[in-house]
Structure 1
């Protein structure tokens, strides 16, 4: 059964990577700012490489792989247009906002990585489920704060329109805090999903 699940996860990883490759190629075509694109795409390729490296000896669940590729895709789209300029009017109108909220959605998707972090720790039996969930949540919150510091550093270093485009604050003085909140909400949502799935699995085993 485990071998079958591993084969399913590996096949899904391959297909998700191929789908992401098409988004990546699309993002390389006339990006709004080549310098911003390079700065934004480096962490994406780093995470993608890390996913494949870990998957050599550990197969995540299909849910974990899907959640991880959501951020990869959204961030790559944001890299092409810069996050403040992504065509996202339909969503902004849906929530009656004049601000482009694509970056908020992308930050929420970063939080989804709490799921694979907790799943890894649980299945490796390095921590109890409750402790793994707490560790995953705090890891995402720490990552969110670190990324905001990196954004600030790069924006100051680049300066001008390039720095503003990378920062993507759109004039909101509380942008960093709101981004970190969205990261945290994404983590909480994914961990609630993990807890629900774990409960279902336990219930089925007890029957």
Structure 2
């Protein structure tokens, strides 16, 4: 019997398994690794469950796994210590911006959220995109609250490593901004791929 799951999902999961094993092998902090890897595994399980009945597009799967790959790598080193000098030097910053890029990538989830709503015919493409954007803004705020809670609970170096603020008092706000920009970027891709998305937006504006 032919598998119901898309080849893209199976291939990306296979590749992700190597990243997962790599991250689990002697991470910088085992406690931080466990705390960071739990949401990734949860998202992966949800993606497989959804895909059983409603396969998503290749673009959706790629967007979903970009964040999974980045977050899993961050879990190994802690986000402040990921070897990312080439990018930091490129933008002329002494701060490690791997966490900022990872936050940008989580905004990509707006695309599959909107696509799922469109495929299920829950609402028009414009409203599906708006829901995806607002969903990611909400998730961004919730995650920052969870980070704060865990950092307070764990305390010490472990809490600081999980928080990853690197001394920036506006770290939470900047992370949420990156989540939002990532969501807008992914929805921009959807607008290009789905002309009806733009047409619906113009109709609602008019």
CA RMSD between the two structures: 1.7
User: How much has 1:199 moved relative to structure 2?
Assistant: 1.3
In 1, the alpha carbon distance for the partners of 2:8 and 2:135 equals 26
In 1, the alpha carbon distance for the partners of 2:91 and 2:166 equals 17
Distance 1:201 1:157, change over 3 A: closer
Task: Deviation per CA, 1:104-162: give whole Å up to 9, x if none.
Answer: 00000000000000001011110111111111000000000000000000000000000
Count of aligned pairs between the two proteins = 197
User: How much has 1:100 moved relative to structure 2?
Assistant: 0.1
2:184 aligns with 188
1:30 aligns with 26
Which one of the candidate residues 144, 150, 153 is aligned to 1:148?
Answer: 144
Moved more, 20-29 or 192-201: 192-201
Task: Deviation per CA, 1:156-178: give whole Å up to 9, x if none.
Answer: 00000000000000000000000
Does the 8 Å contact 2:40/2:71 carry over to 1? yes
Pairing 1:158–2:139 present: no
1:39 aligns with 35
Moved more, 120-129 or 174-183: 120-129
User: How much has 1:201 moved relative to structure 2?
Assistant: 10
In 2, the alpha carbon distance for the partners of 1:158 and 1:112 equals 30
Matches within 5 A, 1:81-96: 81-96=77-92
Task: Deviation per CA, 1:12-61: give whole Å up to 9, x if none.
Answer: 11000000000000001110000000000000000000000000000000
Which one of the candidate residues 66, 75, 84 is aligned to 1:79?
Answer: 75
Q: Stretches of 4+ moved more than 4 A in 1? A: 200-203
Does the 8 Å contact 2:32/2:162 carry over to 1? yes
Matches within 5 A, 1:112-191: 112-191=108-187
Question: Secondary structure at the residue paired with 1:30?
Answer: coil
Task: Deviation per CA, 1:38-91: give whole Å up to 9, x if none.
Answer: 000000000000000000000000000000000000000000000000000000
Distance 1:117 1:14, change over 3 A: same
